[in-house]
Amino acid sequence: MVLLLFVDLFEDLDPGLAALRPLGGFFLLRTLRSEVGGSDAARIDELATLAKAYKKLTSDVYGNALTFRVDAVSRRLRATEPRVAASIAHQALAARLWSVALGCAVRYGRLPDLDPGLLRWDTAATAPDDLWLTEVRALPGAADPATLADAVVRAVVRGHLEPLGEALRDRYGLAAGLLWGNAGSALAGAARELDRWARANDCADTAARTRALADALFAHPLLSATGTRTGLAFRRRSCCLYYRVPGGGVCGDCCFTQPPRSSPRAVSG
């Protein structure tokens, strides 16, 4: 039954990824064909690729897109600890990557190539992170949950989260457990939003595909230990450090029920 749900009613992978637009801003992936007449071609050339952002960071905040983004988040949230802003920036980008991949997987039954060299990032934009895909080319693969989950793992975990996490650990000293907790939280949040949209729009097949894909993804060793799940509800085993932002508190899926009283570096994941 689950397999049948995954092979029926898919849309074609179009150059503008139009099927993602109704899902909301976190799922939107801009392309050169998604804007009228491709008028943003010149602007997209000015943006950094994620591949360059993941390279070894420099001390110059303007010399690397990831460093620039963390600094921008720090200013907006008035976060005095760079590692706090880095964690929040990481979770925001992870949420966008998961959302795009899940949205394509359940609406199209396949993924476009999400190679970091093809994705550009507007690091000066407000949330949600503004991502552009410079070329839409479908990856091969069947539409069953296991095969799609493997494709999503290759695209998001190996292609993005692993090099992104390495860059953030190197520059900001964030713990691996915190970063994978962010990834698990972002994945759970993307799945819930997609499921909520599907149910609100009477798309039972999309809701079923979302849940099956989320189950398959959380079976991955790097994600299975990030938290506990009940359906699409998620409680993480680490903290993203948002409580250390002025006026911040604990998130809905935090391991803490109230902000801890701790030394500045007591909670690192």
Query: Of the ranges 27-41, 61-75, 160-174, 205-219, which one carries the lowest mean pLDDT score?
Result: 27-41
pLDDT of amino acid 87: 98
191 domain residue, yes or no: yes
Concatenating the DSSP letter of every residue in 71-134 gives HHHHHHHT---HHHHHHHHHHHHHHHHHHHHHHHHHHHSS-B---TTTEEEETTS-SSPEEEES
Instruction: Tell me the residue range of the domain where 96 lies.
Output: 2-244
Cα four-point dihedral sign 173, 120, 154, 231: positive
Residue 9 reports pLDDT greater than 60 = no
Given a cut of 70, whether residue 236 has pLDDT beyond it is yes
For residue 152, which of 187, 119, 177 has the smallest C-alpha distance? Answer: 187
| 72 occurs within a structural domain | yes
Show the tokens assigned to 112. 């476009």
**Tokens 């949420």 map to which residue?**
95
**Of residues 166, 157, 172, 167, the one with CA closest to residue 226:** 157
Q: DSSP class of residue 19?
A: G
User: Which residue from 186, 194, 187, 192 is spatially nearest to 149, judged by alpha carbons?
Assistant: 187
Cβ atoms within 10 Å of 247's Cβ, excluding its own: 6
Q: How many domains does the chain contain in total?
A: 1
What's the rounded mean pLDDT across residues 48-64?
A: 74
Mean pLDDT, the chain, whole residue set: 87
What is the predicted pLDDT for the residue at 3?
39
Q: Is residue 53 part of a domain?
A: yes
Q: What percent of the chain has pLDDT over 90?
A: 74
| Strands ordered across the beta sheet of 130-133 | 30-31, 130-133, 119-122, 48-49
pTM for the model stands at: 0.89
The reported pLDDT for the residue numbered 226 is 97
For residue 49, list its beta bridge partners: 120
Domain membership flag for residue 6: yes
Which contiguous run of DSSP H or E holds residue 227? strand 227-230
The rounded distance, in Å, linking the Cα atoms of 137 and 15 is: 8
Whether residue 98 is predicted with pLDDT greater than 90 in this model: the reply is yes
* Residue range 58-95, pLDDT digits in tens: 555 556 899 999 999 999 999 999 999 999 999 999 99
Is the model's pLDDT at 146 over the cut of 90?
A: no
Does the structure show a pLDDT above 50 at 227? yes
pLDDT at 256 over 60: yes
Inside any domain, residue 262: no
Is residue 259 one of the residues assigned to a domain? no
Whole-angstrom CA distances from 57 to 23, 35, 145 are 34, 32, 36
User: What region, left, alpha or beta, does residue 191 occupy, with left being phi > 0 and alpha being psi -120 to 50 degrees?
Assistant: alpha
Question: Does residue 253 lie in a domain region?
Answer: no
pLDDT at 44: 76
Q: What is the pLDDT of residue 11?
A: 61
251 occurs within a structural domain: no
As a whole number, mean pLDDT of residues 93-115 equals: 96
Confidence of residue 6 (pLDDT cuts 50, 70, 90): very low
